[in-house]
Chains A and B, each alone.
Chain A
Amino acid sequence: MNTSWTRRLVLALAAPVSAFVFAFLLSSIVLILSSYNPIAAYSEMINNAVKLESIIDMLNEATPLYISGVAAAIGFRMNLFNIGVEGQYQLAAFAAAVIGAKVVLPNGLHMLFVMGVAMIVGGLYSGLAGLLKVTRGVNEVISTIMLNSVATLGIIAGLFPRFLEEKADGAVGLGTTPLAETAWIPNLNGVVQIFTRDIVKGRKLTGILVVAIVVGILYHLFINRSRLGFDVRATGMNPLAAKVGGVPSKKMILLAMGLSGVVAGLVGLPDLLSKSHSYDQGFTKLRGFAGIAVALLGRNHPGGMVGAALLFAFLNTSSGVLQISKTASSEIVTIMQGIILLAAVVAYQMVAQVRQREEIKAASEATGANA
C-alpha cells in the first residue's frame, strides 16, 4: 500500500522534474555555446525575480497567458484543437476597443460592457470554426489557422485605418480612440500593499488578474464538476462511446469551440482595460500561440496551467534584465521556452509509456494470479 503510493508520487513528479532538469542542462549548454556564463545568467534571473516590482511584472504577464491557456485547454479537453485563439483575441480586443470607445456608460458598467463585447466577439468568431466543423466537416485546425489570418490580415487590417484616433491637430494616432476612464479596471496595488511594502516604479498589478482567477475556478468547476464538462471530457476521451452514451456530439463541438472563444476574448483585456486603453500598434500579439504552450505544459489542468503561465512569465520578464546586465541575449529566453516545452512533452510521453507498461504488467499478474 505504502510503496504503491510513493511509487505513484514518484511517477507523477518524474515528468515535470526530469523535464526541468533536462531543460536546465540544455539551456546551460546553449548559454555556454553563445559564450555566456549560465550561472551568472541564472542568478541574474533569480535576483530579478524576487524583487516586488518584478513579481508584479510577472503576474501582469502571466494573467493573459493563463487566460489564453484556459481558452486552448477547453478545446484540448474535447480533442478540439483551437489554434485560433490568436485571431479570436485580437479580433475581440479590436472590436471591444472600437465599440467600447463609442459608448458612454457609468463606471464599472462600462468595463463590464467592454468585457462582454470581447467575450461575445471571441465566442462568435471561434463558433464559426465550430459551425464549419459540424456542418461541413472542416477540420478545426485548418479553419482556425485560416481564420487567424482572416481576422488579423483581413478584418483588422482592413478596418483599423478607419477607426484611428483623430488628434487635435488633425493627425491620426497610432491606435483607436482610447477608452474612457469609466472602462478602466482598477489596479490591485492597494490589495498587494496590505501585505508588502509600497509598490514603486510605476508598476500596477492589473485587475484582470481577478478575472483570470475567476476564469480558472469556473474552468475547474465546468470540466470537473459539471454535467456538461463530463460530456466534454467523455467526448474527448472516446467520441464514439460518448455518442453511444447519448452525448450530442455536434452540440458539444459548438459548445466547446464557443466557450474556448469566449475565454479567448478576454486575453487582450489587460492591454485594453489597464495598459494602453486602446487597440494600437503596440498591442501585444502572439499570446494565442503562447497559450497553446501554456496548456500543453500545464496538461490542461487548472492548477498546472497556473504554474506554466508563471514559468513563461518568469522567462519573459527575465529577458529585459538579462540584456541590460549583459548576461545573455534576449533570444535565449525564447530558446529556453522552446526547450522546456519540448522537454515536458517528451517527459510526459515517456512517463505515460512507463505507466502503461506497469498497468499491463499489473493486469497480467492479477489475471495470472486469479487463473
Chain B
Amino acid sequence: MKRSWRLLLSMLAAFALVAAACGGGSDDVSTDTTEAAADGEGEAMEDEAMTDEEMAAMEDEAMDDEAMDDEEMAAMEDEAMDDEAMATGDFNVGLTFDVGGRGDQSFNDSAAAGIDLAESQIGISSSEAEPNADGSNRAELLQLQADNSPLVIAVGFLFENDVKTVAGDNPDTNFAVIDSPMLDFDNGATPFADNIAGLTFAEHEGSFLVGAAAALKSETGKIGFIGGVSGFGLIEKFEAGYIAGAKAVNPDIEITSSYITEFPDFDGFFAPDRANEIASAMYEGGADIIYHAAGGSGGGLFEAAKSVSEASGSKVWAIGVDSDQYNTADDEVKEYILTSMLKRVDVAVFQIIHAQAAGEFAAGNTVYDLSVDGVGYSTTGGFVDDIVDQLEDFKAQIIAGDIVVPTEP
C-alpha cells in the first residue's frame, strides 16, 4: 500500500511540474516553468485572464487597424500606379504561429489581424496552427499546412531551420518567415530558395521616432529603455534607434538602458514583475519616460508608471511596442502610455498574401520600414498630438535618407 501511495504522490508531483511548465504565466511556481515560458506559453495564460473590456478594446483595435489598412492599401495602389484592382484569390493561407498562438495582444495577434484583413479583402481562406507545448512539431505543422496551402506564413524566427527543410520538400509552396531575413549569409546573402521569403522590420526607424517623442516630452531630461532579451541582435536595434532619436532632439539627454535577460534565456519577454522592478528603479532615478521592447513584460512597465505617478503625484510615461498598446493594455494604465512603436506585422502578412494573389511572390528579404509604414508610432490617446509635426519631419528625413538610423547602440 505504501508503494502505491508513493506512486500516486510522485505522479501528482510530476503532474504539477508539467502543469507548472505549461502555465508559465504565474511567477511563484517551480523554476521548471522557465523553459516553457521561454517558448511563449505565458501568453496563453494572459489570454485566458482577459476581461471583457480588454476584449472590447481588442475589437476596437482590430477595427482601427482595418480602417488604417484601407487607407494604406489605397495609398499602396496609388503608388504602384497600377490601374488594375486589388488582386483577389481564393487559395488557402497556412498561418503557423509559434507556441502561444493567437491572443498575445501583440505580435501573434498582429499577424492574425493581417490574415483577417486578407480574408475580407482578397478573399483567401486560412488555417491556423501552433506547435505543441514542447515545440516538437514545428516542421510537421509546416508540412501539414503546405499540404493544403500554396502560401505558408511562419510567425517568428524560430521557424528558420524548419522552413528551410520543409520548403525544400515542397517546391510548389511558397513560405514566408516573419522576423527573419531568410538569406543565406554563407553564400553572399542570397535567398535560400525560390520559394522562401523573409519579412523583417526596420524596428530601429520606428524606435527613432518614439525616442524623439520621449526627448520632446521629457521634463527631467532623463529617459529609460527596457529590453526583453539582449545578445541576439534584435532588441539592440530598438535600443539603438531609441537612443539616436532622443539624441537627435536633445544631445544632452540622459538615457538608461537595461535588459531583463540575456540570450538564449527568453524569459525576459515574459517577466512583467521584473520589468516592473527595473522600471520603478528607473523612475525613482529621475527618468520620466521609459520605452520597452520586452513583449509580454511590458505590462509591468505600465503598472510601474501608474504606481509611481500616483505615489509621487507627478506623471511619468511609458512607451509601448509592436502593437498600439493604448488599445491592448488594461484600462487603468492606458493614460500612462505616451505612444507605441508600431511594428506592422499585419501589413507584412497582408502584403505577402497580396503578392501571392497577384502572382508576384518574391523570394528573399523584404524589409518593412518607415517608407512603407511597416513601422511607425501610434497617436491613440492624443498625448503626442502637439509634437506630431516634429515627428513627421523626422520621419520624412529618415525616408529621404537624410538621417541614417543606427542598428547597434
Q: A-side interface residues toward B, CB under 8 Å?
A: 53, 57, 61, 76, 79, 81, 83, 86, 141, 145, 148-149, 152-153, 157, 160-161, 164, 167-169, 171-172, 174, 201-203, 236-237, 275-276, 280-287, 289-290, 292-293, 296, 316-317, 319-321, 323-326, 330, 333-334, 338, 341, 345, 349, 352
Contacts and interface: CB of A to CB of B under 8 A. Distances in A.
Interface of B: 3-4, 6-8, 10-11, 13-15, 17-18, 21-22, 30-32, 34-36, 39, 94, 101, 127-130, 132-141, 143-148, 157-158, 160-162, 165-166, 168-170, 185-186, 189, 231-233, 262-266
Give the dominant DSSP class at B's interface: helix
A202 B170 contact: yes
Give the dominant DSSP class at A's interface: helix
26 contacts: A81-B6, A81-B10, A83-B13, A149-B30, A153-B31, A157-B264, A161-B262, A167-B185, A171-B185, A201-B143, A202-B143, A202-B169, A202-B170, A237-B3, A281-B158, A282-B138, A283-B135, A284-B136, A285-B36, A285-B39, A286-B21, A289-B17, A316-B137, A323-B129, A324-B127, A324-B144
A320 B139 CA distance: 11
A319 B137 contact: yes
Nearest to A285: B35
Contacts of B128: 323-324
A349 B4 CA distance: 8
B17 A145 contact: yes
Contacts of B161: 174, 276, 280, 282
B166 A202 contact: yes
A169 B137 contact: no
A294 to B, nearest CB: 11
Contact of B129 (A149, A169, A296, A330): A330
Contacts of B185: 167-169, 171
B185 to A, nearest CB: 4
A152 B94 CA distance: 33
Contacts of B189: 169
A333 B34 contact: no
Contacts of A169: 185, 189
Nearest to A300: B7
Nearest 7 interchain pairs by C-beta? A202-B169, A286-B134, A169-B185, A284-B136, A323-B129, A149-B31, A292-B14
A149 B186 CA distance: 36
A110 to B, nearest CB: 21
B392 to A, nearest CB: 34
B8 A286 contact: no
Contacts of B129: 320, 323-324, 330
Nearest to A338: B15
Contacts of A148: 32
Given A141-B10, A161-B262, A286-B35, A323 B162 contact: no
Given A201-B170, A285-B134, A287-B134, A160 B143 contact: no
